[in-house]
Structure 1
Amino acid sequence: MLTDYHNHLETGTLSLDYLRKFTDAAKEKGIDCFGISEHAYHFYQTADILQNSWVNERRYYDMKDYVSLFHQAWDKDIDVKMSIEMDYTPGKHEEMKRFIQAYSFDYVIGSIHWIGDFGIDLAEYKHEWEKRDINEIYKKYFDQVVTLAESNLFDIIGHIDLVKIFKYVPENEEFLLEQYERATDALANSKTCVEISTAGLRKPVGELYPDKRLLEKCFSKNIPIVLSSDAHFPEHVGADFGQAVALAKEAGYQSIMTFSNGVRKEYPLG
């Protein structure tokens, strides 16, 4: 069984023709369970959750059009799961909960891209890394991983160690492992799965998410996994999944989680 649950249409259109390019690519790659999880900040309905100048310029979709697209696909017997990738926003739990519960998502991804007004993975903000204390960034980032898990709002945490994207990593390994430990403790007490994402291989860090040491901690605490490519173009669907499966098995995993209508089932890892 292979999944690819983290994919975006934002570089094209919310149209059936563009969606088919992704689902066709998934079929070609032998992906059994495929889903689209557009960024929630693109939708007018999330304006009460996340507000900043970068995001506000990119809020141009309506959820009714998004939901309609999936119904069009299902009417054509296209097998695709409907999801959303939400920027986990501290202090906005009730607003996030209302949004999530307003739609019949197959699953919901929660990700961390912002520490306050600092977009940690955005090229426009990369200069900020040189101005800030790396340990403090990691501490605040993993604070959010913990509270994301504790919220129990999300089925999957996206690219759990995205914070390493530009190769800024604490020199103190003990400190880093402490962050991994508390993050996995929180996830183990939640419903949240961890994705192995191949997107990091296409980023400056040149590595899978998560770090093998972090994934091993996930396995030791029985935290389930899914596989994702975080494709923003059809050609990236299922990219480098051989490496993702190998990492999963090296960490000890033999199974993978699937989602449909919010219900999860475990299958042997392909």
Structure 2
Amino acid sequence: MLVDGHMHLENGPLTKEYVMEFINEAYKQGFDRIQILDHTHRFKEFEVIYQGVKEASDQQREWLANKKMKFKDTLSSYVCLINEVKEEELPIEVLFGLEVCYVPEYKEEIRRILESYQFDFLVGAIHSIDGLLYDMPWSKEILWDKYNVDDIYHRYYELIFDLVKSGLFTQLAHPDTIKMFNYYPTYDLKPTYHELAKLLVKHHVKGECNTGCYYRYHHQDKGLSKELLDIFKEHHVDIITASDAHKPADVGTCIKDIYKLCQYD
């Protein structure tokens, strides 16, 4: 089954017509199932969990103040859209969820918000190291060139482990996208990867092989690093392929290149 397990409505409206652009593109490419979501920073209900990100730097505060993109919609409006699309006769299987920016100190607040809704899947993601975003144009200035890279990696995977153990999520977003700017630790990551794989299996959380780091940020790996992918397969992690598309034209990007690598014999 050809699956794209992660694509965003972020750059468009919450309308059935816009959703159908993603569905039609996936159908044209021969996908059997897609999973549509959006970042929690789109929704008003989640603004509280970004307080630490706002306070950590002026750039981040300004980025989150853009009300044309951030905290502009409600979860109820998203649910209405989901129900509207699901009433249609669709050419492929379409699931809907959220990508939740996981912040440990707001774990129970996240749980409280989510318990009022029934989504097909929930993706947990780490985008910041204690409030400092690692994947933005200003990240080198505020994080990578300011702090020890080993410490950043240690903390990133501590946060990932806590996310997986929280019981909130069915899927882990881009597990090794911390590599995106080609900063690497001096220590061996294999023990960390083995621990992560065991946790994913224990807590029944899927691990993404996400191509977004490759085509959106020009990292050399088309998905997971070979080392991490091999360890996931060794432990029989449930691996889901994902494009991280942020527009319809990017649906399925490079997934066919990595699909067979992610399958079990």
| TM-score, scaled relative to structure 1 | 0.87
| Alpha-carbon separation, structure 1, partners of 2:222 and 2:125 | 16
Letter in structure 1 aligned against 2:195: R
Which residue of structure 2 lines up, in the alignment, with residue 236 of structure 1? 250
Q: Is the 8 A contact 1:36 1:83 kept in 2?
A: yes
Which residue of structure 1 lines up, in the alignment, with residue 57 of structure 2? none
Q: Matched residue pairs, number? A: 249
Q: Is the 8 A contact 1:198 1:241 kept in 2?
A: yes
1:152 lines up with 2:167 in the alignment: yes
Query: Residue 179 and residue 55 in structure 1: after superposition, are their counterparts in 2 closer, same or farther (change >3 A)?
Result: farther
Q: Percent same amino acid among aligned pairs? A: 29
Which ranges of structure 2 fall in alignment gaps of 5 or more residues?
55-60
Residues 202-221 of structure 1 correspond to what in structure 2 (within 5 A)? Answer: 202=215, 203-221=217-235
Which residue of structure 2 lines up, in the alignment, with residue 85 of structure 1? 99
| Alpha-carbon separation, structure 2, partners of 1:183 and 1:7 | 24
| TM-score, scaled relative to structure 2 | 0.88
Which residue of structure 2 lines up, in the alignment, with residue 257 of structure 1? none
- Give 3-state SS (helix, strand or coil) of 1:210's partner: coil
Q: Is the 8 A contact 1:73 1:80 kept in 2?
A: no
Higher mean displacement: 47-56 or 201-210: 47-56
Which ranges of structure 1 fall in alignment gaps of 5 or more residues?
255-270
- Give 3-state SS (helix, strand or coil) of 1:85's partner: strand
Residues 1-270 of structure 1 correspond to what in structure 2 (within 5 A)? Answer: 1-51=1-51, 52=54, 53=61, 54-57=63-66, 58-78=70-90, 79-127=93-141, 128-172=143-187, 174=188, 176-202=189-215, 203-249=217-263, 253-254=264-265
| Alpha-carbon separation, structure 2, partners of 1:32 and 1:62 | 29
- Give 3-state SS (helix, strand or coil) of 1:232's partner: coil
Q: Is the 8 A contact 1:113 1:120 kept in 2?
A: yes
The two structures, once aligned, show a CA RMSD in angstroms of: 1.6
Residue 9 of structure 1 and its aligned partner are, at CA, apart by 1.0
| Alpha-carbon separation, structure 1, partners of 2:240 and 2:114 | 20
| Alpha-carbon separation, structure 2, partners of 1:116 and 1:229 | 26
